[in-house]
Amino acid sequence: MRTSRIAVTAAAVVVAGLSLSACGGDGGPANAGSASSSSSSAPAEGQTESAPAEQPEGGAGSPDEEAPDQGSAGQGSAGTGTKPERCHTDDLTITASDAAIGGDETKTVAVTLLNKSGRECSIKGFAGVNLLSSEGAIPAASRDQKDDGTVLKSGEPTYFGIFYKANESGGSGVRIKGLVVTPPDEKKSVTLKWPGEPSLPVTDSPDPSVEIGPMGSVGQGG
């Protein structure tokens, strides 16, 4: 019995010594634990560094790259900076009326183009104009005038003038039967009743007998 108690006491002393070394000492076991912690944290640091390299392929990079397209789509849907489509022949109600002022040597016919399309449309330049006469078609020449273009709202009109010399010779002259108008940049024409003087003088002059102004202008020929 005495021998057994001595053995148990010795074992308890050894266990206590090991416990003190592990808890408060500066020896190998504590250092080994620190090394183990450093070793286990190294893979975590490596994953953190690789994460930014993967971001362009993931969600973080995509919104930045898609932002310009989303902005463009938003502006387009709102119509910002969008130019209206040009006015087509079928978008317009075209009429002609006499606009001559008594005493003027040069006579004027005003052509009205009314936007009936239900949307805005743009119109710019010179119409194609032919007078139908007893001598065949008489094409109108474009005057040297600038046209900046016009945007017509639905129900809004624009105008241009046709300028010509009336027949005052006393003879029959060149009788006018009708008027053909083709809006700028269009191929489809409309034929109208001629509202001006019934005839033009017969002339061998190289100068055009009929002239037109650009869209948005109806002035006297002078």
* Residue 18 lies in domain: 2-78
- Residue 218: how many other CB atoms lie within 10 Å: 17
Instruction: Give yes or no: residues 68 and 117 share one domain.
Output: no
Instruction: Give yes or no: residues 111 and 154 share one domain.
Output: yes
Query: Would you state the structure tokens that stand for residue 201, as one six-digit string?
Result: 């003088």
Instruction: Note the pLDDT tens digit of each residue in 66-121.
Output: 433 333 333 333 444 688 999 999 999 999 999 998 778 899 999 999 999 999 99
Q: Which residues contact 89 (CB under 8 A, 6 or more apart)?
A: 182, 183, 186, 188, 189, 190
Q: Look at residue 26 and tell me if it is in a domain.
A: yes
Q: Say which CATH number the domain at 154 has.
A: 2.60.40.10
Instruction: Give yes or no: residues 30 and 119 share one domain.
Output: no
Q: Look at residue 217 and tell me if it is in a domain.
A: no
Instruction: Give yes or no: residues 192 and 109 share one domain.
Output: yes
Residues recorded for the chain: 222
Q: Look at residue 83 and tell me if it is in a domain.
A: no
pTM for this entry: 0.61
Instruction: Give yes or no: residues 69 and 172 share one domain.
Output: no
Instruction: Note the pLDDT tens digit of each residue in 5-29.
Output: 434 344 444 344 444 344 444 444 4
pLDDT at 126: 95
Instruction: Give yes or no: residues 68 and 108 share one domain.
Output: no
pLDDT at 207: 66
pLDDT at 81: 67
Last residue of a domain, one of 78, 105, 136: 78
What's the CA gap between 115 and 76, in Å, rounded? Answer: 24
Q: Look at residue 220 and tell me if it is in a domain.
A: no
Number of separate domains in the chain: 2
